[in-house]
Amino acid sequence: MIQKQRHWVPYELKPRDIERRFPRCELLLQRQKSKGFLLRIVTGDEKWIHYDNTIIQSAGNRGAAYKQRHDKVILLHDNARPQVAKPVKTYLETLQCEVLPHPLYSRDIAPSDFHLFRSMTHGLADQRFHSY
């Protein structure tokens, strides 16, 4: 969505954007057909929820196991400037984290944008929790 004349309207792709987007989508589709990688993708968006659970704090000894498994995860994030900034790219390279190319202006590629976070936003709207 972009703002035009004080109204939010859907972003319309220009022909050159469509031409640039198609090869990325095609690459992802071919890769899925050959390697079946969709279940290894980690994607998301911002949703800040405070949850305090002391059991999770005692799980620190599992850190080594997580580090051994991180190479099995494929990261898919959008092309927002914080995610494509050089320091972020460099850090992900040091982790040897695989990052998939994200098609231009493609919100539908991240299911969390439409399903998980939208449901949470509506379900938790105007609620305050005072106990655990």
Q: How many domains in the chain?
A: 1
More confident residue, 43 or 115: 43
Residue 130 is assigned to a structural domain of this protein:
no
In 36-105, where does DSSP find H-type helix?
54-57, 63-69, 81-84, 86-94
Residue 55 is assigned to a structural domain of this protein:
no
Q: Give the pLDDT confidence of 65-88 residue by residue, as tens digits.
A: 655 655 566 777 766 777 778 888
What domain range is 110 assigned to? 2-46+64-124
For 32, 48, 72, 73, 120, the CA distances from 37, given in Å and listed in that order, are: 6, 28, 10, 9, 27
> Is the pTM above the cut of 0.75?
no
Residue 53 is assigned to a structural domain of this protein:
no
d(CA 35, CA 74): 12
Residue 56 is assigned to a structural domain of this protein:
no
Which domain CATH number covers 107? Answer: 3.30.420.10
Token pair of 113, please? Answer: 């944008």
Residue 40 has pLDDT above 70, yes or no: yes
Residue 104 is assigned to a structural domain of this protein:
yes
Residue 97 is assigned to a structural domain of this protein:
yes
Mean pLDDT, range 107-114, rounded to an integer = 56
Residue 95 is assigned to a structural domain of this protein:
yes
d(CA 112, CA 46): 10
Residue 94 is assigned to a structural domain of this protein:
yes
